[in-house]
Chains A and B, each alone.
Chain A
């Protein structure tokens, strides 16, 4: 088990129980992390690494696997795009001093046409340029035509992806890893050899990552680099292998699948984009769908969603109401929205079970943004910093904000807890699990289902007689939910049935997404969840663990329900060899039964069940017919896992080492290019980023979780047991730096950044250690981020919020901030001031550009951040 970018034991304690079980059975555990934690303590091999340097380490692994010919050749040749030939115009960062071909320094973006496969092309995606998040067709590879793509199964052609990768990572040597990451050559080689020895036909290695990888300016590329290692070693789609993305909340997976997110609709369908002229359903399907692979069914899912939302009013004649959906035109994610609020451009905000005043990055900015709203609705179990910022916060204590000057109207609504309502969560492995209601919520506490239902009724009543065309969606919104009991609570199972979908001609529930159609005769609120109510039964409520000791019994297919179609391991066709036989008896999972002429196994096969392994797709085939019998990756138009991503990412087809935005060291591999040139920044006086030559903040800081607390704290800091277990904010600092600064173990210390200043107790410990990188030494300070300055009762605990220190920034692909590596300084003693204002500029300074149109690091006026000192 290989854990990097994750602290499994701290953040997912019961999940880590299985790591320990595996260890008892002989598995080795490797933990690569800047900070020695309880996860490191259960590991056979702990490797300290400089925060944010992971791609250099992973690139080193890729190089080592290729150079020593340790890759699983049959898997790589048959199941990945290693053999595919790339466009002759492609140039990589080795040739262009750190950028890929197509880089435009004016806009800080890439023209990606030269990255394509030879003979391939990307279908034109309307309005793509103006969006910070990429076109859906690009993200999925759905729009790609692969008719005449060439490949060289010998992997010798200099333009095949295997050879491109070999050249790309040639300089990521163990010596370079040591200089960039501070990892010794011996430790690096031990990791590489352990992974290689535990992968292949007979063995598999699992990779676990979490926000230690996602929260970087090249976070998506870190995950891609880990994926490449796993694919080269043949660890994807197989039992004991895979990549476990350890997500941090009970249903953060569910809230991505059925998104409260700006750029997608349920089931990862894209939000429509604004454009000159009307966008029709036909255009939308053309842009998002695909001629080949599973996304060829895109239209079935889009129309079924519109039928679920607009019911009988959605007809073929009116494009099923598609034209009335709101359109996005830029980056409307959390941070630009709060920057708009700070600039006085947002009237209202509804916050449900989130605490941006502590958990939001640059939390001082977030709190000031709340003070600039007209109205704020907060729904939670108890009062918290986000509802209380006007009454007691660092800004109020310092006198920067006075309650009598804050105009925000605040509604703090009591919410029902997880046992006081019925509904389901989706866990980190896509498993949907139903919860029955155990008791009534107290007083006026209600579920969010109750809230949204009764607000919707009020809004719909307001517009019932409107003749304004813009109100069509509200006049025709399909909202049939029955109310139950004295509180008039809607029935969550009725909503789940709508999500599952109906055959509208018979009124019966559909059994899965295969039954969904584009002609308006079916509905489904989220196609990937279709089947969760198969056979008219709430499948998510199933509670039969099965016989765990039987062969494959560990799958427990009748415990809850996993999307899609109750599959527990995605792409599990790859657990068998090209001919359909298990790679090894030990690792059998899904295989071709030649007598029954079907795929079978312990799990639901992730492949057309009757498609023979020797089926060869004709060149002109469309839809799923274009996927051959030995192409396991059916969501990709070419049926292959992508080592190299010809479309889909905005910052390069291959992961490349860039420094964090705020790095104290130059980029050893690409001196002309410090940080990711297409990473997003927001230039705003309240959000300063530390330039490379700024010596005020010489150290690297990173954040971590503790087992005893949960995220921004409201669910744990106010619970007596947990408050007692972890009462205080603290910082882990190495003995050398502590001695230099006169910081004592257990004493107070203060950490400052360009955004703010926070205090806590010093934990002087060799759990963090100075990293020697060539002739340079880098000190790292690691800190938990669970504390905030308000407790809802005397039994709760308070402390300073780590996120006060961090800048708002963004990975170019997904707009996540770089919070796992940032620059700081430390000193002994307590902080001087309550407020973050002095560091962060004045409250009312407007941004330099509209927040929804972020800047890119590589634009010429951001040269400071490219390491050109």
Chain B
């Protein structure tokens, strides 16, 4: 049977001074004067409920932002799954968003090229759609070698899905199937 810890957390969050020590359930006496003066580190921040992107346990996360900028990500104490806790990966997930190598532009490598180039997003989307259409047309099979009706293309394939949202996988499968593409796979088989 689970404990009633989330309720204690909720109560603490309503106190005027919410320090880390209080969040950890150490009680009011654990907060120093310094802490009381500094006030809550999360005061004035917008909080959005989210879910950890790593393993499949599905821990609740609270995403703190100020003026649209990410400040931190914590475990959601209300979640009956993780009750405020996170593992090292979940606790580091702010760095996933703000990692030093985060991409913000499309990188393009032309055939036989030796370095990346930058590419406009809309242009990249045009080029990708053209290539998918061309692969579909060039490799269209109404019947396969044995004469079986197949109505498909083996010209292009897809990998990935286990890190995406269900809505995204749904539209991917819908579009690919309508295009006749069948080599659609994700991490579920590895």
| Whole-angstrom CA separation of A11 from B55 in the bound complex | 7
Q: Are B99 and A381 in contact (CB under 8 A)?
A: yes
- Using a CB–CB cutoff of 8 Å, the interface residues on chain B facing chain A are 1-4, 6, 46, 48-61, 63, 65, 68-70, 73, 78-82, 85-93, 95-97, 99-116, 119, 121, 124-129, 131-135, 138-140, 142, 144, 146-175, 177-190
List 21 A-B residue pairs with CB atoms under 8 Å apart, sorted by A's residue number: A247-B56, A248-B187, A251-B162, A327-B151, A332-B183, A337-B183, A346-B154, A348-B156, A351-B159, A352-B164, A403-B113, A412-B103, A414-B103, A419-B61, A425-B51, A433-B60, A445-B102, A456-B171, A470-B140, A721-B91, A815-B189
Does A418 have its Cβ within 8 Å of any Cβ on chain B?
yes
Contact with B along A434-477 (1 / 0, CB 8 A): 11111110111111110111111011001000000010011001
Contact with B along A355-392 (1 / 0, CB 8 A): 01001110000000000001101011111000100110
**Contact among B6, B100, B146, B153 for A795, CB-based, below 8 A:** B100
Q: Are A718 and B82 in contact (CB under 8 A)?
A: no
| Whole-angstrom CA separation of A515 from B116 in the bound complex | 53
| Whole-angstrom CA separation of A277 from B147 in the bound complex | 9
Q: Are B168 and A449 in contact (CB under 8 A)?
A: yes
Q: Are B155 and A354 in contact (CB under 8 A)?
A: no
Q: Are A439 and B95 in contact (CB under 8 A)?
A: no
In the bound complex, residues from chain B placing their C-beta under 8 Å from that of A719 are 92, 95-96, 99
Q: Are B162 and A252 in contact (CB under 8 A)?
A: yes
In the bound complex, residues from chain A placing their C-beta under 8 Å from that of B61 are 419
Q: Are B184 and A348 in contact (CB under 8 A)?
A: no
Q: Look across to chain B and name the residue whose beta carbon is closest to the beta carbon of A9.
A: B87
With A404-B114, A548-B80, A722-B89 known to touch, is A793 a contact of B159 (CB < 8 Å)?
Answer: no
Q: Are B151 and A14 in contact (CB under 8 A)?
A: no
Q: Are A377 and B2 in contact (CB under 8 A)?
A: no
Knowing that A250-B52, A337-B185, A710-B55 touch, tell me 10 more A-B residue pairs with CB under 8 angstroms. A14-B81, A252-B162, A258-B169, A260-B169, A261-B161, A410-B109, A423-B166, A429-B58, A470-B151, A546-B80
**Contact among A439, A708, A814 for B70, CB-based, below 8 A:** A439
Q: Are B178 and A327 in contact (CB under 8 A)?
A: no
Does A350 have its Cβ within 8 Å of any Cβ on chain B?
yes
Q: Are B101 and A14 in contact (CB under 8 A)?
A: no
Contact with B along A581-621 (1 / 0, CB 8 A): 00000000000000000000000000000000000000000
With A258-B169, A279-B149, A346-B157 known to touch, is A419 a contact of B70 (CB < 8 Å)?
Answer: yes
Does A125 have its Cβ within 8 Å of any Cβ on chain B?
no
Q: Are B182 and A262 in contact (CB under 8 A)?
A: yes
- Which of A91-99, A553-561, A639-647, A730-738 contacts the other chain? A553-561
Within 8 A of B (CB), among A804-830: 814-817, 819
In the bound complex, residues from chain B placing their C-beta under 8 Å from that of A425 are 51, 53, 58, 165-166
**Contact among A496, A715, A816 for B189, CB-based, below 8 A:** A816
**Contact among B57, B65, B106, B161 for A444, CB-based, below 8 A:** B106
With A250-B51, A452-B171 known to touch, is A414 a contact of B106 (CB < 8 Å)?
Answer: yes
**Which of A21, A256, A379, A794 gathers the greatest number of chain B CB atoms within 10 Å?**
A256
Within 8 A of B (CB), among A263-283: 265-266, 271, 274-279
Q: Are A325 and B151 in contact (CB under 8 A)?
A: yes
Q: Look across to chain A and name the residue whose beta carbon is closest to the beta carbon of B64.
A: A438
Q: Are B79 and A545 in contact (CB under 8 A)?
A: yes
Q: Are A720 and B184 in contact (CB under 8 A)?
A: no
| Whole-angstrom CA separation of A546 from B2 in the bound complex | 11
| Whole-angstrom CA separation of A428 from B104 in the bound complex | 31
Does A800 have its Cβ within 8 Å of any Cβ on chain B?
no
In the bound complex, residues from chain A placing their C-beta under 8 Å from that of B147 are 276
Number of residue pairs spanning A and B whose beta carbons lie under 8 angstroms apart = 502
Q: Are A360 and B190 in contact (CB under 8 A)?
A: yes
| Whole-angstrom CA separation of A548 from B152 in the bound complex | 51
| Whole-angstrom CA separation of A427 from B79 in the bound complex | 13
Q: Are A354 and B159 in contact (CB under 8 A)?
A: yes
Q: Are B149 and A249 in contact (CB under 8 A)?
A: no
Q: Are A255 and B182 in contact (CB under 8 A)?
A: no
Q: Are A381 and B161 in contact (CB under 8 A)?
A: no
| Whole-angstrom CA separation of A379 from B158 in the bound complex | 11
Q: Are B53 and A334 in contact (CB under 8 A)?
A: no
Q: Are A816 and B150 in contact (CB under 8 A)?
A: no
Q: Are B171 and A251 in contact (CB under 8 A)?
A: no
Q: Are A250 and B58 in contact (CB under 8 A)?
A: yes
| Whole-angstrom CA separation of A419 from B171 in the bound complex | 20
In the bound complex, residues from chain B placing their C-beta under 8 Å from that of A13 are 55, 87-88
Q: Are B129 and A462 in contact (CB under 8 A)?
A: yes
**Which of A411, A525, A543 gathers the greatest number of chain B CB atoms within 10 Å?**
A411
Q: Are A554 and B1 in contact (CB under 8 A)?
A: yes
**Which of A249, A429, A716, A814 gathers the greatest number of chain B CB atoms within 10 Å?**
A249
In the bound complex, residues from chain B placing their C-beta under 8 Å from that of A454 are 125
| Whole-angstrom CA separation of A862 from B109 in the bound complex | 42
**Contact among A252, A347, A419, A447 for B138, CB-based, below 8 A:** A347
| Whole-angstrom CA separation of A305 from B52 in the bound complex | 30
Q: Are A433 and B51 in contact (CB under 8 A)?
A: yes
Q: Are A252 and B187 in contact (CB under 8 A)?
A: yes
- Shortest C-beta distance, B21 to chain A (Å), equals 21
With A545-B79, A708-B89, A722-B88 known to touch, is A455 a contact of B132 (CB < 8 Å)?
Answer: yes
Q: Are A255 and B162 in contact (CB under 8 A)?
A: yes
Does A775 have its Cβ within 8 Å of any Cβ on chain B?
no
Does A622 have its Cβ within 8 Å of any Cβ on chain B?
no
Q: Look across to chain B and name the residue whose beta carbon is closest to the beta carbon of A246.
A: B56
- Shortest C-beta distance, A122 to chain B (Å), equals 22
Q: Are A412 and B131 in contact (CB under 8 A)?
A: no
**Which of B82, B166, B169 gathers the greatest number of chain A CB atoms within 10 Å?**
B166
Q: Are A14 and B90 in contact (CB under 8 A)?
A: yes
In the bound complex, residues from chain A placing their C-beta under 8 Å from that of B163 are 249-251, 352-354, 715
Q: Are A15 and B96 in contact (CB under 8 A)?
A: no
Q: Are A548 and B4 in contact (CB under 8 A)?
A: yes
**Contact among B81, B89, B115, B167 for A710, CB-based, below 8 A:** B89
| Whole-angstrom CA separation of A402 from B187 in the bound complex | 29
**Contact among B92, B125, B156 for A350, CB-based, below 8 A:** B156
**Which of A246, A447, A456 gathers the greatest number of chain B CB atoms within 10 Å?**
A456
With A411-B124, A437-B48, A559-B80 known to touch, is A420 a contact of B97 (CB < 8 Å)?
Answer: yes
| Whole-angstrom CA separation of A792 from B49 in the bound complex | 29
| Whole-angstrom CA separation of A548 from B129 in the bound complex | 50
Does A495 have its Cβ within 8 Å of any Cβ on chain B?
yes
In the bound complex, residues from chain A placing their C-beta under 8 Å from that of B56 are 12, 246-253, 427-428
Does A833 have its Cβ within 8 Å of any Cβ on chain B?
no
Q: Look across to chain A and name the residue whose beta carbon is closest to the beta carbon of B176.
A: A260
With A266-B170, A352-B164 known to touch, is A383 a contact of B101 (CB < 8 Å)?
Answer: yes
Q: Are A326 and B160 in contact (CB under 8 A)?
A: no
Does A504 have its Cβ within 8 Å of any Cβ on chain B?
no
| Whole-angstrom CA separation of A324 from B174 in the bound complex | 13
Contact with B along A706-729 (1 / 0, CB 8 A): 011111000110111110010000
Does A231 have its Cβ within 8 Å of any Cβ on chain B?
no
In the bound complex, residues from chain B placing their C-beta under 8 Å from that of A257 are 166
Q: Are A327 and B149 in contact (CB under 8 A)?
A: yes
In the bound complex, residues from chain A placing their C-beta under 8 Å from that of B70 are 419, 438-439
Q: Are B135 and A347 in contact (CB under 8 A)?
A: yes
Does A145 have its Cβ within 8 Å of any Cβ on chain B?
no
Q: Look across to chain A and name the residue whose beta carbon is closest to the beta carbon of B68.
A: A439
Q: Are B54 and A710 in contact (CB under 8 A)?
A: yes
Does A549 have its Cβ within 8 Å of any Cβ on chain B?
yes
**Contact among A278, A411, A436, A477 for B48, CB-based, below 8 A:** A436
Q: Are B156 and A474 in contact (CB under 8 A)?
A: no
| Whole-angstrom CA separation of A436 from B48 in the bound complex | 7
| Whole-angstrom CA separation of A177 from B136 in the bound complex | 53
- Shortest C-beta distance, B105 to chain A (Å), equals 5
In the bound complex, residues from chain A placing their C-beta under 8 Å from that of B172 are 260, 352, 448, 452
Q: Are B55 and A793 in contact (CB under 8 A)?
A: no
| Whole-angstrom CA separation of A708 from B55 in the bound complex | 11
| Whole-angstrom CA separation of A184 from B150 in the bound complex | 54
Q: Are B156 and A492 in contact (CB under 8 A)?
A: no
| Whole-angstrom CA separation of A374 from B128 in the bound complex | 12
| Whole-angstrom CA separation of A528 from B139 in the bound complex | 34
